[in-house]
Chain A
């Protein structure tokens, strides 16, 4: 029975190691074959948007930096839609409707993403509350009592090695 905390610990360690395993090496950056838009302003908007869209194949990369075929298709789509006068928001919604909010690096605030957005602040608040409670409790703890004059005298006497007449047991044998 005493063994199971160590088993849990071991499991945690294993899980941590599995998470820390190196992911497959990122593909070397290759020149993007995509044709940029002629209008530099629109092209800049398209590039900005590409950084915000997750590649659905590689998932850790944005489509701006991914070499996957589907990422290239999405870049093309973004350029076509921007050239057609669509707003960034419309394009984001188009992609999110088909691939889910996951496809956006900044997902919209919804019930399902609330924890994602609020989580860090929630943790911070929990930490703050814990700290306040901790310090309050310390402040409320009774201050160490000061010694009375009589106690002080006895302590000094004890420190100086003098025998304490009142408490010292007497055996009647004399000093």
Chain B
């Protein structure tokens, strides 16, 4: 009994040390939210196409491995990640599609004319309602959807070369096998 009075504060201290140690981890982003949608079926979203391109109907995703990229012309990080999205397009068996998030179609067109268009289909989400179906917190955001229409990956920040190589490409290779 007496020993408990010594051990308990020590245990509390140990718990705090662990807590603080984790808080000091520079790789930890306390504001990032884990997506609750990973492993779940993709939401039913049907969006008109941008400027005569095919639109987005998530019911048609089945049978393909899809990379879905939310972007907007007003979003600077989207510009930064754009070349990497174009690289993804080169992967065999992968369908890269986009959704413009709260962007005027004319601005989106200008953006694509300037930077290139890697998307097989582009849906226009002018109100942001479709983004909400995906639990979108901002642009850019990138999702990987497998052949069964299950969300397998979500990146709620711009794609960078490291993540492309270490996370996205291996996953896509595995899914397209």
Contacts and interface: CB of A to CB of B under 8 A. Distances in A.
Given A57-B138, A70-B138, A98-B133, A137 B1 contact: yes
Contacts of B37: 98
B152 interface: no
B132 A100 contact: no
B25 to A, nearest CB: 11
Contacts of A96: 36
Interface residues of B, number: 27
Interface in B110-139: 127-129, 131-138
Contacts, number: 58
Contacts of A76: 127
B17 A102 contact: no
- By secondary structure, the A interface counts as helix
Contacts of B16: 12
A8 B137 contact: no
A39 interface: no
Nearest to B128: A73
15 contacts: A8-B13, A11-B20, A11-B21, A14-B24, A15-B20, A18-B23, A19-B23, A73-B129, A74-B132, A76-B127, A98-B37, A99-B135, A100-B135, A102-B33, A133-B1
Interface of A: 8, 11-12, 14-16, 18-19, 56-57, 59, 69-70, 73-74, 76-77, 96-100, 102, 133, 137
Given A11-B20, A73-B129, A102-B33, 4 more contacts: A12-B16, A18-B23, A69-B102, A99-B33
Interface of B: 1, 13, 16-17, 20-21, 23-24, 31, 33-37, 43, 102, 127-129, 131-138
